[in-house]
Amino acid sequence: MGVEIKESRVTDQEFEAMKEFVYDYLLASVENEDEGGRMRWYPWHSAEYRHNHILNVVELATKIARREGADVDVTRVAALFHDIAKLDADQDVHAEEGARVARTYLESQGEFPASFIDQVCRAVEDHSYQGDLSDLPLETQCLIEADILDKVGANGTALMLLRMGYEARTHMDSAEMVDRVLERGKDAAKRIESDAAESIAHQRLKRVKWFREWLEEEVSEMEHDDLDVEF
Protein backbone atom coordinates (compact mmCIF):
# COMPACT_ATOMS: atom_id res chain seq x y z
CA MET A 1 0.00 0.00 0.00
CA GLY A 2 1.56 3.28 -1.11
CA VAL A 3 1.97 6.41 0.96
CA GLU A 4 -0.44 9.20 0.01
CA ILE A 5 1.39 12.24 -1.38
CA LYS A 6 -0.52 15.46 -0.99
CA GLU A 7 -0.58 17.52 -4.14
CA SER A 8 -0.37 20.99 -2.67
CA ARG A 9 2.12 22.44 -0.23
CA VAL A 10 2.66 26.13 0.53
CA THR A 11 5.95 27.05 2.16
CA ASP A 12 6.20 29.67 4.88
CA GLN A 13 8.10 31.91 2.47
CA GLU A 14 5.39 31.58 -0.18
CA PHE A 15 2.69 32.32 2.36
CA GLU A 16 4.50 35.42 3.62
CA ALA A 17 4.78 36.64 0.04
CA MET A 18 1.04 36.13 -0.39
CA LYS A 19 0.34 38.13 2.79
CA GLU A 20 2.47 41.00 1.53
CA PHE A 21 0.71 40.92 -1.84
CA VAL A 22 -2.74 40.99 -0.22
CA TYR A 23 -1.86 43.98 1.97
CA ASP A 24 -0.34 45.89 -0.96
CA TYR A 25 -3.44 45.16 -3.04
CA LEU A 26 -5.75 46.47 -0.29
CA LEU A 27 -3.63 49.58 0.17
CA ALA A 28 -3.64 50.27 -3.56
CA SER A 29 -7.42 49.80 -3.64
CA VAL A 30 -7.79 52.67 -1.16
CA GLU A 31 -5.14 54.93 -2.64
CA ASN A 32 -6.54 54.59 -6.16
CA GLU A 33 -9.99 55.80 -5.13
CA ASP A 34 -10.62 59.49 -5.77
CA GLU A 35 -12.62 59.78 -2.56
CA GLY A 36 -10.21 57.81 -0.38
CA GLY A 37 -11.78 54.37 -0.72
CA ARG A 38 -15.24 52.90 -0.46
CA MET A 39 -16.76 53.87 2.89
CA ARG A 40 -13.35 55.13 4.06
CA TRP A 41 -15.13 57.37 6.53
CA TYR A 42 -15.50 54.26 8.71
CA PRO A 43 -11.99 53.25 9.89
CA TRP A 44 -12.86 49.53 9.76
CA HIS A 45 -13.14 49.88 6.00
CA SER A 46 -9.48 50.87 5.73
CA ALA A 47 -6.74 48.68 4.30
CA GLU A 48 -5.32 48.21 7.80
CA TYR A 49 -8.58 46.98 9.28
CA ARG A 50 -9.40 44.75 6.31
CA HIS A 51 -5.95 43.16 6.41
CA ASN A 52 -6.26 42.55 10.15
CA HIS A 53 -9.67 40.93 9.60
CA ILE A 54 -8.16 38.71 6.91
CA LEU A 55 -5.35 37.59 9.23
CA ASN A 56 -7.88 36.86 11.98
CA VAL A 57 -9.84 34.70 9.54
CA VAL A 58 -6.66 32.92 8.42
CA GLU A 59 -5.84 32.00 12.02
CA LEU A 60 -9.38 30.83 12.81
CA ALA A 61 -9.84 28.95 9.55
CA THR A 62 -6.51 27.17 9.99
CA LYS A 63 -7.44 26.12 13.51
CA ILE A 64 -10.85 24.82 12.41
CA ALA A 65 -9.40 23.04 9.37
CA ARG A 66 -6.83 21.19 11.48
CA ARG A 67 -9.45 20.04 13.97
CA GLU A 68 -11.95 19.01 11.30
CA GLY A 69 -9.51 17.28 8.95
CA ALA A 70 -9.81 19.73 6.06
CA ASP A 71 -6.96 20.58 3.70
CA VAL A 72 -5.11 23.23 5.69
CA ASP A 73 -3.18 24.61 2.69
CA VAL A 74 -6.34 25.20 0.66
CA THR A 75 -8.17 26.65 3.66
CA ARG A 76 -5.53 29.13 4.80
CA VAL A 77 -4.70 30.39 1.31
CA ALA A 78 -8.39 30.85 0.53
CA ALA A 79 -8.81 32.69 3.83
CA LEU A 80 -5.92 34.99 2.91
CA PHE A 81 -7.50 35.95 -0.41
CA HIS A 82 -11.17 35.90 0.61
CA ASP A 83 -11.59 39.69 1.09
CA ILE A 84 -8.80 40.98 -1.13
CA ALA A 85 -11.32 42.72 -3.41
CA LYS A 86 -13.48 44.04 -0.59
CA LEU A 87 -12.31 47.65 -0.98
CA ASP A 88 -12.44 47.98 -4.76
CA ALA A 89 -15.45 45.88 -5.79
CA ASP A 90 -19.15 46.06 -5.01
CA GLN A 91 -20.17 43.91 -2.05
CA ASP A 92 -22.27 41.53 -4.15
CA VAL A 93 -19.35 40.67 -6.47
CA HIS A 94 -16.31 41.00 -4.20
CA ALA A 95 -16.10 37.21 -3.71
CA GLU A 96 -15.99 36.50 -7.44
CA GLU A 97 -13.48 39.29 -7.99
CA GLY A 98 -11.36 37.99 -5.12
CA ALA A 99 -11.31 34.53 -6.71
CA ARG A 100 -10.15 36.08 -9.98
CA VAL A 101 -7.30 37.92 -8.25
CA ALA A 102 -6.32 34.77 -6.35
CA ARG A 103 -6.22 32.71 -9.56
CA THR A 104 -4.09 35.29 -11.35
CA TYR A 105 -1.63 35.38 -8.46
CA LEU A 106 -1.40 31.63 -7.90
CA GLU A 107 -1.02 30.84 -11.60
CA SER A 108 1.80 33.36 -11.99
CA GLN A 109 3.70 32.69 -8.75
CA GLY A 110 5.33 29.38 -7.93
CA GLU A 111 4.24 26.04 -9.33
CA PHE A 112 0.97 25.33 -7.60
CA PRO A 113 -1.04 22.40 -8.99
CA ALA A 114 -4.14 23.31 -11.00
CA SER A 115 -6.36 21.30 -8.65
CA PHE A 116 -5.04 23.25 -5.65
CA ILE A 117 -5.68 26.59 -7.38
CA ASP A 118 -9.20 25.47 -8.34
CA GLN A 119 -10.01 24.51 -4.74
CA VAL A 120 -8.70 27.80 -3.36
CA CYS A 121 -10.59 29.89 -5.90
CA ARG A 122 -13.79 27.94 -5.38
CA ALA A 123 -13.61 28.59 -1.63
CA VAL A 124 -12.96 32.31 -2.15
CA GLU A 125 -15.80 32.59 -4.64
CA ASP A 126 -18.26 30.80 -2.33
CA HIS A 127 -17.30 32.45 0.96
CA SER A 128 -20.37 34.72 0.87
CA TYR A 129 -22.72 31.74 0.43
CA GLN A 130 -25.79 32.13 2.66
CA GLY A 131 -27.18 28.61 2.47
CA ASP A 132 -26.54 25.44 4.45
CA LEU A 133 -22.78 25.12 5.02
CA SER A 134 -22.98 21.35 4.95
CA ASP A 135 -23.63 21.62 1.20
CA LEU A 136 -20.12 23.02 0.62
CA PRO A 137 -16.64 21.47 0.54
CA LEU A 138 -15.12 21.26 4.01
CA GLU A 139 -12.45 23.87 3.22
CA THR A 140 -15.08 26.40 2.15
CA GLN A 141 -17.09 25.63 5.28
CA CYS A 142 -14.04 26.26 7.48
CA LEU A 143 -13.46 29.61 5.74
CA ILE A 144 -17.06 30.77 6.15
CA GLU A 145 -17.16 29.69 9.79
CA ALA A 146 -13.95 31.62 10.48
CA ASP A 147 -15.34 34.69 8.72
CA ILE A 148 -18.44 34.47 10.91
CA LEU A 149 -16.42 34.01 14.10
CA ASP A 150 -14.32 37.13 13.59
CA LYS A 151 -17.49 39.18 14.03
CA VAL A 152 -18.29 37.38 17.29
CA GLY A 153 -16.58 38.15 20.57
CA ALA A 154 -14.04 40.81 21.54
CA ASN A 155 -13.41 42.08 18.03
CA GLY A 156 -17.11 42.49 17.28
CA THR A 157 -17.62 44.21 20.63
CA ALA A 158 -14.76 46.65 20.07
CA LEU A 159 -16.05 47.57 16.64
CA MET A 160 -19.59 48.09 17.92
CA LEU A 161 -18.35 50.37 20.71
CA LEU A 162 -16.19 52.27 18.22
CA ARG A 163 -19.32 52.80 16.15
CA MET A 164 -20.89 54.65 19.10
CA GLY A 165 -18.61 57.60 18.48
CA TYR A 166 -19.73 57.88 14.87
CA GLU A 167 -23.34 57.81 16.01
CA ALA A 168 -22.72 60.45 18.73
CA ARG A 169 -23.81 58.04 21.46
CA THR A 170 -22.75 58.23 25.12
CA HIS A 171 -21.24 55.46 27.22
CA MET A 172 -24.70 54.84 28.70
CA ASP A 173 -25.57 53.15 25.42
CA SER A 174 -22.73 50.65 25.79
CA ALA A 175 -24.94 47.85 27.08
CA GLU A 176 -27.33 48.27 24.16
CA MET A 177 -24.45 48.07 21.70
CA VAL A 178 -23.05 44.97 23.37
CA ASP A 179 -26.53 43.44 23.25
CA ARG A 180 -26.37 43.89 19.48
CA VAL A 181 -23.12 41.95 19.38
CA LEU A 182 -24.73 39.13 21.37
CA GLU A 183 -27.82 38.97 19.19
CA ARG A 184 -25.86 39.11 15.96
CA GLY A 185 -23.44 36.57 17.33
CA LYS A 186 -26.21 34.14 18.24
CA ASP A 187 -27.77 34.52 14.79
CA ALA A 188 -24.41 33.98 13.08
CA ALA A 189 -23.53 31.00 15.26
CA LYS A 190 -26.68 29.20 14.18
CA ARG A 191 -25.08 28.74 10.74
CA ILE A 192 -22.02 26.99 12.11
CA GLU A 193 -21.72 23.26 11.40
CA SER A 194 -18.39 22.02 12.73
CA ASP A 195 -17.71 21.10 16.35
CA ALA A 196 -14.50 23.13 16.32
CA ALA A 197 -16.22 26.34 15.22
CA GLU A 198 -19.16 25.78 17.56
CA SER A 199 -16.79 25.50 20.52
CA ILE A 200 -15.06 28.78 19.59
CA ALA A 201 -18.38 30.57 19.06
CA HIS A 202 -19.76 29.43 22.40
CA GLN A 203 -16.63 30.58 24.24
CA ARG A 204 -16.66 33.98 22.53
CA LEU A 205 -20.34 34.60 23.18
CA LYS A 206 -19.88 33.75 26.85
CA ARG A 207 -17.12 36.36 27.07
CA VAL A 208 -19.34 39.02 25.50
CA LYS A 209 -22.08 38.19 27.99
CA TRP A 210 -19.57 38.53 30.84
CA PHE A 211 -18.56 41.95 29.52
CA ARG A 212 -22.22 42.98 29.40
CA GLU A 213 -22.65 41.91 33.04
CA TRP A 214 -19.48 43.80 33.99
CA LEU A 215 -20.94 46.97 32.51
CA GLU A 216 -24.12 46.49 34.52
CA GLU A 217 -22.14 46.09 37.75
CA GLU A 218 -20.02 49.21 37.32
CA VAL A 219 -22.15 51.76 35.45
CA SER A 220 -25.00 53.29 37.43
CA GLU A 221 -28.50 53.25 35.93
CA MET A 222 -27.47 50.96 33.11
CA GLU A 223 -30.27 48.68 31.97
CA HIS A 224 -30.03 45.14 33.35
CA ASP A 225 -30.78 42.24 31.09
CA ASP A 226 -30.53 38.48 31.36
CA LEU A 227 -29.46 37.34 27.93
CA ASP A 228 -29.18 33.68 27.04
CA VAL A 229 -26.17 32.96 24.86
CA GLU A 230 -27.02 29.36 24.05
CA PHE A 231 -27.48 28.49 20.39
Segments of the chain scoring below 50 in pLDDT: 1-6, 8, 36-41, 227, 229, 231
Q: At what angle do helices 174-189 and 154-166 cross, to 10 degrees?
A: 140
Please answer whether residues 117 and 134 qualify as being in contact, where contact means their C-beta atoms are separated by less than 8 angstroms: no
pLDDT digits (tens, 9 = 90+) for 56-90: 999 999 999 999 999 999 999 999 999 999 988 88
The three-class DSSP label of residue 28 is helix
Closest Cα to residue 78, out of 41, 22, 122?
Answer: 122
- H and E: helices and strands count for the chain: 9, 0
The three-class DSSP label of residue 189 is helix
Q: Where are the domains of the chain?
A: 12-129, 154-218
Phi, psi angle pair for 17, to nearest 5°:
-65, -40
Give CA–CA dist 171/147, Å, rounded. Answer: 28
The three-class DSSP label of residue 64 is helix
DSSP 88: T
The three-class DSSP label of residue 191 is coil
What's the CATH fold of domain 12-129?
Answer: Hypothetical protein af1432 (1.10.3210)
pLDDT at 157: 74
**Whole-structure pTM value:** 0.83
Q: Which amino acid is at 1?
A: M
Residues 6+ apart with CB under 8 A from 22: 51, 54, 80, 81, 84
Q: What angle do CA 138, 140, 142 make, to 5 degrees?
A: 70
pLDDT at 171: 65
